[in-house]
Amino acid sequence: MSSNGTSAKPSPGLDLTGASTLEGMMLSWQQRIDPFGVTTSLLNAQAAWMMHPQELSRAIGAISGDVLALQQHLARRAMGLPSADVVTPQAGDARFADPVWSEAPTWDIVKESYLAITHRIEDMLFETPGLSDKERRRAAFWVREWLNAMAPNNFFLTNPLAMRKYVESNGESLVRGFKNFMRDAKAKNIRMVEADAFKVGTDLAITPGQVVFRNRLVELIHYTPTTAQVHKTPIVIITPWINKFYILDLTPKKSLVKYLTDQGYSVFITSWKNPTADMADVRFDDYLLEGVDQAVDAARKLCKAPQVHLTGYCIGGTLVATYMAWASRHYGEKKMPVAHWTLLTTLTDFSKPGDIDVFIDEGAICALEEKMAKTGYLAGDDMASSFRLLRSNTLVWHYFEKSYLFGEPLPPFDVLFWNMDTTRMPAAMHSFYLRQMYQHNNLMKRDALTVAGELIDLDRITQPLYAVSAEDDHIVPWRQSYRIRKYINVKAPVRFVLSTSGHILGIVNPVVTPPKRSFWVREPERNEHFEHWFNHAEKKPGSWWEDWLAWLSPQCGPMVDAPKVSAKTYPDLGPAPGTYVFEK
């Protein structure tokens, strides 16, 4: 039995029935000494292979085939003859993109040897007999992290580009690299962007607006209309609280809220407070009641509108989905404050959450709870580090190579600046979220979850939904995001979009000419499989923003005079971007 209580599924070619007794024996020790399975997962895998000699001999035979292929490749390259790669780097692997790794025989052999070894080791771990699926994935994940760190491009003497830059700069590249290293050592982090590259309120988050509501958890920003008239139904955007809100209001050309405002919509957005130790007891329920419910109420009153369009992004979308089920029961159909809604890269079914699953089991959650009990929160750097590990080649070792071995300055990239502007998680809320959503997957189970005094049943949701996912999203796999269609009411119209790019750039996807990206779109049936949907979806060039507006426009009602925020109705709480966004 695996650590999360699920049975193992046999891998192709192996007769596997479930997790081994050894795995269960080591579980208790692992939870105390190594809660994230960094070393124990590998020990489990090694022991499992030793207990299955037949499968081990078969794997060794495959390794022998790789060695023979490498020897033949080496011989042909040494004689100056062309030779096809033994292992081709995966699409998107930029580590060996420079021609020198293929054109120079020496470096080609270094590259091919590394890739062949790493691919075979990972394949063996994914096929480990006698371990649960989750333990196989965990072992492969942590070994992959080590293998990524050991890549030849991460060392000066095995990186031809670093040595070339050293010669061309007369050694200055390494001098600059050492200065960059000392900068990051002081920051205790491998930086992706300089801390002063941008200034919030001056360079980023500059769309004009006003804070119209504030409580202990959230500020609600209303953006100043840029058109004389706006659609009657306002848009309320619930942002994730694991980062600052301004990912949706970067520069004017990338700002989703500016785009909506310029198209004649009255737009509100949440800016969450960065929790402190005295907020340790703040619950998920509080985020729903004091966050979403009060934001929706404030927007309705300011715009004098009976309902709003509610949008949620990432964990903010999970909260929105919970709120929609909660409000359907709490307010009833006639008093429902939301007319229709949008989810942006959101999980509601956590059964297969992607690589983040390696951090989710009883031992890992207990370790996090113990840590949060001492501080009252989960530090933002801890959360950011976990997500960076999921793509360590691009989010860690890329900057190691560029900063330290090449001595290059960090590029001023606004998305990366936002990514480094982390926030904390209240202990009670985060524990609830990890256990009820990730560990037990209770949101998709009817009446299995009680939030703010109401049983949560997604099937009660009948309001039209526009859902957006991203093809390369490693945080919210699109196939899981798609499953929202299965759980909300069959009467609810759903338009599902799959954008190219990842979790951030699939959403921060402005309309440009010529188009940079594309998207697939189609209305799925309730039980339609994602493969069937994808095969029949229409692929369109450009940004899904325009398709969203075409869907929103007829639903957000007629054009009315833009609302005016007066001090008589709302106190002067200051201009956008507010005050909570500046809290560190």
Q: What would the pLDDT profile of 514-539 be if each residue is shown by its tens digit? A: 999 999 999 999 889 999 999 999 99
Q: Omega of the bond prior to 577 within 30 degrees of 0, cis?
A: yes
Given this model, what pLDDT does residue 19 score? Answer: 47
Cα separation, 507 vs 478, in Å, equals 13
Given this model, what pLDDT does residue 75 score? Answer: 87
* Catalytic residue chosen out of the listed positions 303, 314, 366, 556: 314
pLDDT bin (cut points 50, 70, 90) of residue 24 is low
Q: At what angle do helices 53-78 and 105-126 cross, to 10 degrees?
A: 170
pLDDT bin (cut points 50, 70, 90) of residue 29 is low
Q: Omega of the bond prior to 514 within 30 degrees of 0, cis?
A: yes
Lowest mean pLDDT among 19-28, 94-103, 202-211, 229-238: 19-28
Cα separation, 116 vs 86, in Å, equals 7
Q: Domain 209-353+443-582 belongs to what topology? A: Rossmann fold (3.40.50)
pLDDT in tens, 75-116: 888 888 888 888 888 877 899 999 999 889 899 999 999 999
Q: Within the chain, which residue ranges are assigned CATH 3.40.50.1820?
A: 209-353+443-582
Given this model, what pLDDT does residue 31 score? Answer: 62
Per the CB < 8 A criterion, the answer to whether 86 and 66 are in contact is yes
Cα separation, 198 vs 373, in Å, equals 34
Given this model, what pLDDT does residue 5 score? Answer: 36
pTM: predicted TM-score of the whole model, two decimal places? 0.90
pLDDT, averaged across the chain: 91
Alpha-helical (H) ranges within 6-126 are 21-33, 40-50, 53-78, 100-103, 105-126
Given this model, what pLDDT does residue 80 score? Answer: 80
Per the CB < 8 A criterion, the answer to whether 233 and 339 are in contact is yes
Catalytic (active site) residue 556: no
If one compares 68 and 259, the residue with the highest pLDDT of the two is: 259
pLDDT in tens, 291-307: 999 999 999 999 999 99
Residue type, 244: K
Cα separation, 37 vs 134, in Å, equals 11
Tally of CB atoms within 10 A around 243: 23
For residue 200, give the DSSP letter: B
pLDDT in tens, 388-435: 999 999 999 999 999 999 999 999 999 999 999 999 999 999 999 999
Cα separation, 128 vs 440, in Å, equals 26
Cα separation, 173 vs 442, in Å, equals 53
Torsions phi, psi for 196 (to 5 deg): -110, 20
Counted residue by residue, the chain has a size of 584
Given this model, what pLDDT does residue 583 score? Answer: 96
Given this model, what pLDDT does residue 338 score? Answer: 98
